Amino acid sequence: MRADTAGGGAAGDGPMYVAAKKIYPQAVQGRFRRIKWGVLAVTLGIYYFLPFVRWDRGANAPNQALLIDMEGRRAYFFSIEIWPQEVYYLTGLLILASLMLFLINAVAGRIWCGYLCPQTVWTDLFMLIERWIEGDRRERMKLDQQPMSAHKLAKKGIKHVLWLAIAMWTGGAWILYFGDAPTMVVNLFTGQASLLTYVFVAILTFTTYSLAGMMREQVCIYMCPWPRIQAALTDEWALNVTYKTDRGEPRGSLKEMQKRAQQGLPAGDCIDCYQCLHACPTGVDIRDGLQLDCIQCGLCIDACDTVMQKIGRPTGLIGYDTDMNLARRAEGKPPIYKLIRARTVLYAAIIVFVGSFMLYTLTSRSFADINVLHDRNPVFVKLSDGGVRNGYTVRFLNKRPIERTFLLRVEGLPDTARVEAVGNAEAVGSNPLITVGPDRTREVRVLVFTPGGEALPASTDVTFQIVDLKDGERATASDKFMTE
């Protein structure tokens, strides 16, 4: 934990808690900064514009590529439609995402935090706006030290207005995933959206503004559990942003190091310029070693590489490396990298297994289904001719965007048994025909009769089977036929 942000020590040493120091990250240019801009553009582009992507599913289904239709109780992702009964696919996706995070962590530490985490992406965007309005590190520090003036007020005001606009756009974009996006945009701006919609936009505006604009690195350092979990999951072979002490130490100013070199004394490549620290969005001095506060964004690498280029030394004094190599370098041994090891192979194997299983179940799933609920009271009815009647509530599910007709059979009873769908006249022989609308469910009360004289046990296993007359798709459900 950073000494300048949290108190500690023995009683009487000072206050238990101190206010966090404001961090003024300096703009840097380089390879990792470019990667981060690229990731920011792609991820935010997807987030803000995906709701407007259309996908033709036919006349009876919505045409939004990604849609969570709460009212219709469906989720749509391009050609995939998920019903409430299939919510386990979302669970599977979450498991897959967690496993991917574990694998990424085993290979390259907290790369998720540094490049892909929404907190990082939006904070980067908010910092870009801040830098654009208030200037780079020095200008911002100077502005904050100045007393309030019209000039300062204008700069701060413009910054906060732009932050709020982005935060509102962020909150608004989230809502668009839950309804037809173009219609919702019109409704939002003309005051026709529901109160709940405005409440959600307001909540998400507030969280984006406060987390990315005001709290920034404190979310990563104090609020997020991942650094602690990650620390327990990592090993000495994982790549992390590392200061190469064997090359950097002993450190000192450029002049001092040149003087030491001339005298034949050991002189490291680090010229103690603090550019790595100034570039860091979480205020970490990477030269102190790997720390929980470091989100592995690589910006200190870019900052140091720029310095190294200026002073004519090889780049890479700070770079992605492993704890193992840090120890090896200290012993004068060459670095080695071990990407394929038990933990990465295990994670990759589980990901392939879970992913393949999900893909298989998704591609082979049925588009018709049936649920049966036996009457509880009475469980059976004795008829005047000695026969027995059982009643069921049968729910037919048609997951295709077209109307379908299903033939209902009840198997497991003698041929003399008769099936009747209440209020439904259509049948083939004694098997009712049930028509279900496109992408709909239909509940039908079904009565099953056995005539007098049939000697049946107290409970007989029966199978309700539905068959689509056109495509032959089937679905079954098991229940009992009771006589006592």
Chain residues binding ligand SF4 by CB under 6 A are: 241, 243, 248, 270-276, 279-282, 284, 286-287, 294-300, 303-304, 307, 317-318
Angle between helices 31-49 and 118-134 (to 10 degrees): 110
Least separation in angstroms between residue 313's CB and ligand SF4 is 9
Contacts of residue 325, defined as CB under 8 A and 6 or more positions apart, other chains included, come to 242, 335, 336, 337
Q: Please state, in angstroms and rounded to a whole number, the distance separating the CA atoms of residues 333 and 326.
A: 10
Which CB atom, from 176 or from 241, has the smaller least distance to ligand SF4? 241
CB of 273 to ligand SF4, least distance (A): 4
Q: How far is the CB of 306 from ligand SF4 (least distance, A)?
A: 8
Shorter beta-carbon distance to ligand SF4: residue 92 or 283: 283
Task: Please identify, using beta-carbon distances, which residue of 281 and 387 lies nearer to ligand SF4.
Answer: 281
Pairing of strands 459-468, 474-482: antiparallel
Which of residues 316 and 412 has its CB atom nearest to ligand SF4 in the complex? 316
Nearest-Å Rg of the Cα atoms of the chain is 33
Of 235, 269, 265, 264, the C-alpha closest to 251 is 269
296 or 450: whose CB is closer to ligand SF4?
A: 296
C-beta of residue 374 within 8 angstroms of C-beta of residue 394 = no
**Measured from the CB atom, is 240 or 390 closer to ligand SF4?**
240
What's the rounded Cα separation, in Å, for the pair 262 and 251?
15
Residue closer to ligand SF4 by CB (options 248, 412) is: 248
Q: Is 248 or 401 the residue whose CB approaches ligand SF4 more closely?
A: 248
Distances (CA, A) of 311 to 244, 270, 278, 304, 315: 17, 10, 18, 11, 10
Q: Are 141 and 15 in contact (CB under 8 A)?
A: no
Q: Which two tokens stand for residue 472?
A: 């032959």
**What's the closest the beta carbon of residue 119 comes to ligand SF4, in angstroms?**
13
Minimum separation from the CB atom of position 272 to ligand SF4 (A): 5
The answer for residues whose C-beta is within 8 angstroms of residue 333's C-beta and 6 or more apart is none
Using the minimum distance from each CB to ligand SF4, give the nearer residue, 238 or 271. 271
- Number of Cβ within 10 Å of residue 46's Cβ equals 11
Minimum gap (Å) between residue 267 Cβ and ligand SF4: 12
Q: How far is the CB of 128 from ligand SF4 (least distance, A)?
A: 16
Tokens for 377, please give them. 């009271």
Min. distance of Cβ 287 from ligand SF4 in angstroms? Answer: 6
Least distance to ligand SF4 from the beta carbon of 363, Å? 41
Output the smallest distance, CB 270 to ligand SF4, in A: 3
Whether the CB-CB separation of 204 and 170 falls below 8 Å is answered with yes
Judged by beta carbon, residue 326 or residue 467, the one nearer ligand SF4 is 326
Structure-token pair, residue 370: 């049936």
What is the amino acid identity at position 210?
Answer: S
**Rounded to the nearest 5°, which phi and psi values hold at 476?**
-135, 160
Peptide linkage before 378 cis (omega within 30 of 0): yes
Listed in sequence order, the DSSP H helices in 176-321 are 181-189, 195-208, 217-218, 226-233, 245-248, 254-262, 275-279, 299-310
* Shortest distance in whole angstroms from residue 296 CB to ligand SF4: 5
**Quick count: other Cβ atoms within 10 Å of Cβ 64?**
24
Cα-based angle 425, 427, 431 (whole degrees, multiple of 5): 125
Question: Smallest distance, Å, CB 179 to ligand SF4?
Answer: 38
C-alpha 137/C-alpha 299 separation (Å) is: 15
Q: Which is nearer to ligand SF4, 99 or 307 (CB)?
A: 307
Nearer to ligand SF4 by C-beta: 296 or 322?
296
Collapsing DSSP to helix, strand or coil, 448 comes out as: strand
